[in-house]
Amino acid sequence: MKIAIDVMGGDYAPKEIVEGVEQARDINSDVIYQLFGDRNKINKYLKNNDSIEIHHTEEYISMDDEPTKAIKKKKNSSLVLAAKSVKEGNSDSLFSAGNTGAIMVAGLLIVGRIKGIDRPGLTTTLPVIDNDMGFTMIDCGANADTKLLNIKQYALMGKYYAENVKKIDNPRIGLINNGTESDKGNIQHREMYEMLSEMNSINFIGNIESRDLLNGVTDVAVTDGFTGNAVLKTIEGTALSMMNLIKKEIKSNGMKSKIGALLLKNSFKDVGRKMDYTRYGGALLLGLKAPVVKSHGNSKAKTVKNSLVEIQNIVDSGLTNSINDYFDNDQNKTEK
Amino acid sequence: MKIAIDVMGGDYAPKEIVEGVEQARDINSDVIYQLFGDRNKINKYLKNNDSIEIHHTEEYISMDDEPTKAIKKKKNSSLVLAAKSVKEGNSDSLFSAGNTGAIMVAGLLIVGRIKGIDRPGLTTTLPVIDNDMGFTMIDCGANADTKLLNIKQYALMGKYYAENVKKIDNPRIGLINNGTESDKGNIQHREMYEMLSEMNSINFIGNIESRDLLNGVTDVAVTDGFTGNAVLKTIEGTALSMMNLIKKEIKSNGMKSKIGALLLKNSFKDVGRKMDYTRYGGALLLGLKAPVVKSHGNSKAKTVKNSLVEIQNIVDSGLTNSINDYFDNDQNKTEK
């Protein structure tokens, strides 16, 4: 297996990207890690080049670049070259912590969609309080103007993701809506509900509310990209704000509180670990001919390592083939 | 001031509603608290009838009733009679912890909209980590199919709410979107951004992301009712899940953890108090001829008391008149 890695993307690139790659390599050295980026900068941080290939280029796409323009103009950027390597069959997957829009455009225009897929969906696994599996949300923001067809395909791709990668039998698929009853939502979401209800190929459990997501109400939460993005960012923001609030209150409540916090160190660590969804790897752009994974711009080595380990699971799982086979089957083109 | 109270609405009605009313009365006995509901049941819990009027009726609307049908058929229900009392000028405001849909329909059909307002917006104040003012979100779900006109009116009503009730000068108005840049969002949200940018009468600070809400990025967060509802429920769900997770981890980490938790009792209490947004009162249906306030179905006496205190602030603030005057001014009908 070969993974094409955009070493120049991310707030802490290339240092933390290179370190993350080495951590992943130390777990699995059977994979070839293909580093696209500036050889001199990479070598500054690289300790050991076992299982590592360097594909030198000095051009890269910055966080501020306009995505489509950057992909079209910066032909020798690390991201574009890594995506081309996937397209040409020289790599099995693409990873970047860089410019989100540019990664999506590179996935769409260079790696390319699976035949039959209208729009790929950004797929993220988030924590669930009572289990370690988490739940998967699709679409988290690849496509803000979502059509019914997209929702149908998200549900199917989400199902295959849960089955192949997370090994869940007959995964529960829920639609994020503003109430659980079947008649809830705006016009668009009532149509989505109706369509999903009529699909025989998925285990549709109906409408779900965003308040129940972390309680494990579903295995796969299907949502339009606008709502999914808002929900994802609200979970992130609320969890982070609460942790900050707890720290602040502990500081302002004197010595007794500080000793209490010390005694609770392990519990807080467990909470932090549980809420840290980067342990599930980055966000997967699902519906492309090969897995394209992006992690947060602020990713450090550990997150990069987690993403690379997860990419190996995804490639091994045969997920892309499952989706491909489904959409390649003529019968399924009209199937409900 | 007279407040019409639907004593029969809510999971813990009438007991907790009556107790909440008495707590509010003990703070301010200049208000007349008009209890609509079953006299026998009310008297079972009422300790002291100072400043309290009982308007007897045995009919009520349950949580499962279909809202519009219930309001039309149950003419003698506690909610309908309370709303009529407002309409007829015998009460200054309506409070209920009952069936949300029915409260909204009663507000719309019985209390009635301010002339010029297309749809009322459900307005909630939520906590901000670093200040005690919180931020106000409108619409939290009154109207899932939101038009541009509604967003414009939410922005204006939000401004008057922040100015009159929260005494904020020139309040910051932000639009919840999936990125802060001006070109972010789906077609609908890009149109909203453009329209809000052109309004001279508000201090529009641009797009905001839901991840920054609890950090106090804005005074008023304007949003379509579908997204607002999802964001509100995600904040609720994430905060609650985190508190449960912390409790669970403390329990599973043995005696040391339990002692730590004991020492941190005050800090946790402060966190709980800070995150408990019921201290800001319930959700206000804004754009009606008089304030209509609903609190959570699971409200206990303290929440009812907070809502009734907040209603007094709202009525005293002259908010309804401010909105009325604005929309009554011919010039503002075409104003940008």
Using a pLDDT cut of 90, give the percent of chain B over it.
Answer: 84
Q: How confident is the model at residue A330 (pLDDT cuts 50, 70, 90)?
A: low
Q: What mean pLDDT do residues B247-275 have?
A: 88
Q: How far is CA A166 from CA A160, A213, A271, in A?
A: 9, 17, 22
Residues in chain B with CB shorter than 8 Å from the CB of A214 are 237-238, 241
Q: What is the mean pLDDT of residues B50-73?
A: 96
Q: Is the pLDDT of residue B148 over 80?
A: yes
Helix (H) or strand (E) holding A306: helix A301-317
For residues A137 and A151, what is the distance between their CA atoms, to the nearest angstrom?
Answer: 12
Residue A161 has pLDDT above 60, yes or no: yes
**Which of A25-39, A262-276, B74-88, B135-149 bottoms out in mean pLDDT, i.e. has the lowest?**
A262-276
**Which 179-238 residues of chain B touch chain A by CB within 8 A?**
185-187, 189, 209-215, 225-227, 229-231, 233-238
Q: How far apart are CA A178 and CA B232, in angstroms?
A: 10
Alpha carbon A184 to chain centroid, angstroms: 28
Q: Kindly state the tokens that stand for A57.
A: 């280029």
Query: Of the spans A240-249, B79-88, B242-251, which averages the highest pLDDT?
Result: B79-88
> For A27-37, what is the mean pLDDT?
97
* Cα B195 to Cα B136, B190, B204, B225, B286, distances in angstroms: 20, 9, 10, 17, 21
**Edge-to-edge, what's the strand order for the sheet holding A52-56?**
A52-56, A32-37, A2-6, A93-96, A292-294, A283-286, A121-128, A131-138, A220-222, A172-176, A203-208
* Weakest mean pLDDT among A5-9, A103-107, B315-319, B327-331: B327-331
For residue B272, what pLDDT band results from cuts at 50, 70 and 90? confident
- Tell me the pLDDT of chain B averaged across its residues: 94
List Cβ neighbours of B194 (8 Å cut-off, separation of 6 or more): none
Residue B115, pLDDT > 90, answer yes
Contact B234 A231 (CB under 8 A): yes
Instruction: Give 3-state DSSP helix, strand, coil % of chain B, rounded to 5.
Output: 50, 20, 30
CB contacts, 8 Å: A144 with chain B: 178, 185-186, 189
DSSP bridge partners of B37? B56
Averaged over B177-181, what is the pLDDT? 93
Per the CB < 8 A criterion, the answer to whether B142 and B104 are in contact is: yes
Q: What are phi and psi of B177, to 5 degrees?
A: -145, 175
**Count of all residues that appear for chain A in the document:** 336
Complex-level ipTM:
0.93
Closest partner CB to B238 (pick from A235, A263, A270): A235
SS3 (DSSP) at A205: strand
Q: How far is the C-alpha of A136 from the C-alpha of A219, rounded, in Å?
A: 6
Stretch B16-24: mean pLDDT: 98
- From the list B145, B209, B234, the residue facing A235 with the nearest CB is B234
How far is CA A328 from each of CA A114, A162, A284, A320, rounded to the nearest angstrom?
Answer: 9, 20, 21, 12
**Residue corresponding to tokens 């804004």:** B286
Neighbour count for residue A184 (Cβ, 10 Å): 18
Q: Are A98 and A302 within 8 A, CB to CB?
A: no
A333 pLDDT more than 80:
no
Question: B-chain residues within 8 Å CB-CB of A221?
Answer: none
Place A173 in a pLDDT band, splitting at 50, 70 and 90: very high
Instruction: Name the closest residue on chain B to residue A249, using Cα atoms.
Output: B267
Question: Out of A66-70, A251-255, A289-293, B147-151, which region has the weakest mean confidence (pLDDT)?
Answer: A251-255
Q: Which residues pair with B4 in a beta bridge?
A: B34, B94
Tokens 């690289």 locate to: A46
Which chain A residues contact residue B249 at CB under 8 A?
267-268, 270-271, 274
Chain A CB contacts of B139 below 8 Å: none
- Residue B253 pLDDT exceeds 70: yes
Distances (CA, A) of B19 to B6, B273, B305, B314: 13, 21, 8, 22
Query: What's the length of chain B?
Result: 336
Q: How far is A54 from chain B (nearest CA, A)?
A: 34
Strand order in the sheet with B292-294: B52-56, B32-37, B2-6, B93-96, B292-294, B283-286, B121-128, B131-138, B220-222, B172-176, B203-208
- Residue A214: what pLDDT? 95
Instruction: Give yes or no for residue A253 having a pLDDT over 90.
Output: no
Q: Which residue among A227, A245, A252 sits closest to B230, beta carbon to beta carbon?
A: A227
Beta-bridge partner residues of A35: A5, A54
Q: How far apart are CA A269 and CA A276, in angstroms?
A: 10
Taking each helix axis from N to C end, the angle separating A254-263 and B265-275, rounded to the nearest 10 degrees, works out to 90
Q: Quick one: pLDDT at residue A335?
A: 54
- Window A:52-71, CB contacts with B under 8 Å: none
Please tell me the distance from the alpha carbon of residue B139 to that of residue A71, in angstroms, as a whole number. 38
Provide the number of CB pairs (under 8 Å) joining chain A to chain B.
Answer: 185
* A220 backbone dihedrals φ, ψ, rounded to 5°: -130, 125
Which of 257-286 (B) contact A at CB < 8 A? 257, 259-264, 266-268, 270-271, 274-275
How much is the pLDDT for B333? 63
How many Å is the maximal CA-CA distance in chain B? 69
- Return the H-helix or E-strand segment holding A238: helix A225-252
DSSP string of A146-159? --HHHHHHHHHHHH
Tokens encoding A16: 């933390």
CB A170 within 8 A of CB A201: no
Alpha helices in A264-300 (DSSP H): 265-275
Among candidates B226, B237, B250 on the partner chain, residue whose Cβ is nearest the Cβ of A214: B237
Q: Which residues contact B52 (CB under 8 A, 6 or more apart)?
A: B21, B25, B32, B33, B34, B35, B46
**Closest CA–CA distance from residue B270 to any residue of chain A (Å):** 7
The pLDDT assigned to A254 comes to 86
Return the SS3 of B180.
coil
pLDDT at A336 over 90: no
Using the beta-carbon criterion (under 8 Å), do A211 and B227 form an inter-chain contact? no
Pairing of strands A121-128, A131-138: antiparallel
Do residues B242 and A270 lie in contact, with contact meaning Cβ atoms separated by under 8 Å?
no
Report the percentage of chain B scoring pLDDT > 70: 98
Using an 8 Å Cβ cutoff, are B261 and B268 in contact? Answer: yes
Question: How confident is the model over B153-175, as a mean pLDDT?
Answer: 97
State what percent of residues in chain A have pLDDT above 90. 84
* Mean pLDDT value across residues B126-150: 94
Where residue B312 falls among pLDDT bands split at 50, 70, 90? Answer: very high
In angstroms, the separation between the Cα of residue B6 and the nearest Cα of chain A is: 24
**What pLDDT does residue B274 have?**
85
Q: Check residue B330 and give its pLDDT.
A: 65
Q: Out of A144, A227, A242, name the one closest to residue B239 (CB).
A: A242
B67: chain A residues, CB-CB within 8 Å? none
Long-range contacts at A46-51 (CB < 8 A, ≥ 24 apart): A46/A18, A46/A22, A47/A22, A48/A22, A50/A25, A51/A25
> Rounded distance, CA A197 to CA A191, Å?
10
Q: Which of A196-200, A268-272, A307-311 has the lowest mean pLDDT?
A: A268-272
Q: Hey, are the CB atoms on B234 and A234 less than 8 Å from each other?
A: yes
Amino acid type, B29: S
For residue A144, count CB atoms less than 10 angstroms from its CB and return exposed for 0-12, middle for 13-18, buried for 19 or more.
buried
Mutation site for B-interface testing, chosen from A180, A242, A250, A268 by largest number of B Cβ within 10 Å = A242
Tell me which residue of A205, A94, A95, A111 sits closest to A158, measured CA to CA.
A205
CA distance B200 to B170: 12
Average pLDDT, integer, range B117-134: 93
Q: At B251, is the pLDDT very low, low, confident or very high (cuts 50, 70, 90)?
A: confident
Do B207 and B177 meet the contact criterion of CB atoms below 8 Å apart? yes
pLDDT per position as a tens digit, A205-226: 999 999 999 999 999 999 999 9
Closest-CA residue to B291 (of B34, B107, B126, B81)? B107
